[in-house]
Structure 1
C-alpha cells in the first residue's frame, strides 16, 4: 500500500502580533509550527490537518479574546453553533477555509504583503498520481494557486497553439 504525502512550507514567517487567538488556534491545529523571535513558521509534514478536534473550553477562550468579525472567529462560531453542546470537544473540518484565515491576517498585517504556500506531493511508491506540487499565493486582494499539472497543461497549450519556427528553442 502506498503512502501519500503533502509536505508544505508557509512563507514568510508570520508575526505573532498579527494573529489573534482564534487564528492561532486554527493554524496551530492545521500546521506544524515553530515559534522564534515573535514569529511563527508554519509547515506540514507529512500533511496539513483538515479535520481535527479542539477542546470546547479552548475554543471559547480563543473566541472571547478575538474580534468577532474575523474569519477565524466566524468559522469557529459556526462550528460551535452546529455542535450539539453535549460534548467537551469540537470537531472541525477546515476544507479550504484555512486560506481565508491567512488572507484575513494579510489584510490586517502592517508588515505582510503576501503569504505563499509551497506544497510537494510525494508518494512512498512510484505511482503516476503520487507526485507533483502546488503553489498558493495569498494577498489582501486575492488567493491564487497553480498545481504542477496545471503548469504543464498551460505550457503545452502555449507551445502547441503558437506557430513557431521548428529551429527555435522555446524558453518559458
Structure 2
C-alpha cells in the first residue's frame, strides 16, 4: 500500500494580532504550529488536515470572540454547528467544502503588515510511483490566490518549446507593460481631478492586468506592423549593399 503525503510550509509567520480567535483555532488544527515571536509559524509534516473533531464549547467561544470581524471561516463554521443541540459536546469539522487558502486570504486582507502569504508543498509517496512526486507553490494576496504545480511547470516548458518552434523568426513589436500602466494611472488621476473620485491605490493589479488584456485584444496594429516590416526590409537591403561593397 502506498501512502501519499503533502508536507507544507506557510511563510511568513502569521502575526497573532491579525487572526481572529476562530481562525487561530481552525488553522491550529489544519496545520502544526510553532510560536515565532508575536506570531505563529504554520506547517504540516504529513499534509494539511481538512477533517478533525473539536469541542463545541471551544468553537462557540471562538465564534463569539470573532463575531465583530468579517471572516469566511466564521460564516462556514457557524452554519455547520447551527443544528447542534445542548447535548452535543463535540463536532466533526469537515473543511472539504472550503479551502484553507481562503482563511489565509482573509488574514492578508485585514493585516497591516502582510501583503502576501506563500504555501509551498511537496508531494511525496512511500513507494516510488510515477504519480507520487512533485510539488505546488501558492501565492495568496488580498486580490488573488495563484498556484502552480510542478506538472504545470513541465507543461509550460513543453508549451514554450512548441511556441518557439511556431514563432521562430518572429520578433515582438510592442509590449503593454503593466508597471507602466500603473504609473499612468497615478499620473492621469493626479492631472485630471474630474477623471474619477477613486484613489490610485484602489486600482488593483488584477484590474490592470484585465485592462491590458482587453486593450491588446481590441487593438489593430496591422498598419504599424506593416510599416515596421517595410522599414526592416529596407534596412536589410542596405546592410546587404554595404556588405557587397566592402573591399575584399
Structure of greater Rg: 2
Gaps of 5+ in 2: 170-248
After TM superposition, list the pairs within 5 Å mapping 1:56-135 onto structure 2: 56-67=56-67, 69-83=70-84, 86-95=87-96, 96-135=98-137
Q: Distance in 1 between matches of 2:83 and 2:146?
A: 30
Structure number with higher helix proportion: 2
The CA distance in 2 between the partners of 1:97 and 1:85, in whole Å, is: 29
Q: Count matched residues.
A: 165
Aligned position for 1:55? 55
State the secondary structure of the residue aligned to 1:162. Answer: helix
5+ residue gaps, structure 1, are 166-172
Name the structure where strand makes up a greater proportion of residues. 1
Q: TM-score, normalising length from structure 2?
A: 0.63
Give me the whole-angstrom Cα distance separating, in 2, the residues matched to 1:120 and 1:83. Answer: 37
Two-structure CA RMSD over aligned residues (Å): 1.6
Partner deviation per Cα, 1:37-83 (whole Å, 9 max, x = no partner): 11100000111101111111000000010035311211110111254
TM-score by length of 1: 0.90
Deviation beyond 6 Å, 4+ runs, structure 1 = none
Comparing 93-102 and 15-24, the one that deviates more: 93-102
> Is 2:10–2:117's contact at 8 Å kept on the other side of the alignment?
yes
Higher RCO, 1 vs 2 (CA within 8 Å, ≥6 residues apart)? 1
- Aligned mates of 2:83, 2:157 — CA distance in 1: 45
Q: Where does 1:1-80 land on structure 2 (aligned, <5 Å)?
A: 1-67=1-67, 69-80=70-81
